[in-house]
Amino acid sequence: MTTSTSPGDPAPEDGAPVALPEAQWQALREAYATPVRAYHHFGHVRETLAHHRAVAREAGWTSPAETWLALLYHDAIYVPGRKDNEARSAELAQAHLRRWPPPAGVDPSRVAALIALTARHGALDADDFPRTPEGEDTRRFLDCDMAILGADPDAFAAYDRAIAEEYRAVPRWLYRRKRRAFFRGLLERERIFLSDFFRDRLEAAARRNLQAMLADGDAAGAR
């Protein structure tokens, strides 16, 4: 039987470094289906996996299976405003990898550790990780998740609207203040992207997007 898919519906990918059983894909579908999400659905994960494939083609991964699985699970549990989404997603990944063991040599604890690091986007520096193949994998993994910042302006604007929709329960003034502080913090950093791979390709576009968004907000506030 063929299962229909949508941008938010996890499904097997050609060329994936790990072949998951259908029962595991179904468990992922159930995880990503709730709550309904405007951005952190599986469509976002598909975009991160596309960046994973680009790295694989152009530079290579030391641990392709672990980084792929971490991207697959990194937003499996997502409730806007909660501080433990990443930790709970890491726990779910480990539980699934115990139930459906990956091939020999794949390290579930490494998968969980990578997912946990996504809670620290915007607070990590490139030198927080060693200049080793494993450290470079970590930098590139985190950049896959942040690559939307360097998307074309329309895609970036759609992302920003979707995040606002997910936080619609937060007072608008408070959301805008925190969101703008996050953007300013990114712009103040020496580099937004931790790896040279993504910095070379997306840093300039990301800075333009963030600057334009802040300028639009300043103009709106002046009216």
pLDDT digits (tens, 9 = 90+) for 85-102: 999 999 999 999 999 999
Compute the C-alpha angle 10/11/17, nearest 5°. 105
What's the rounded mean pLDDT across residues 154-179?
97
- Residue 222 pLDDT > 50, yes or no? no
What's the rounded mean pLDDT across residues 6-10?
59
Supply 194's token pair: 């931790």
- Residue 11 pLDDT > 90, yes or no? no
Question: 82 φ, ψ to 5°?
Answer: -75, 145
Q: Determine what percent of the chain is predicted with pLDDT higher than 70.
A: 91
Task: Report which of 16, 25, 20, 93 is spatially closest to residue 56, judged by C-alpha positions.
Answer: 16
Say what the pLDDT of residue 13 is: 73
- Residue 5 pLDDT > 70, yes or no? no
Q: What is the mean pLDDT of the chain?
A: 93
Enumerate domains of the chain plus CATH numbers: 22-222 (1.10.3210)
Report d(CA 147, CA 167) in Å as an integer: 21
What's the rounded mean pLDDT across residues 190-203?
99
Q: Which residue has the tokens 């950049």?
A: 143
pTM of the complete model: 0.93
What's the rounded mean pLDDT across residues 45-58?
97
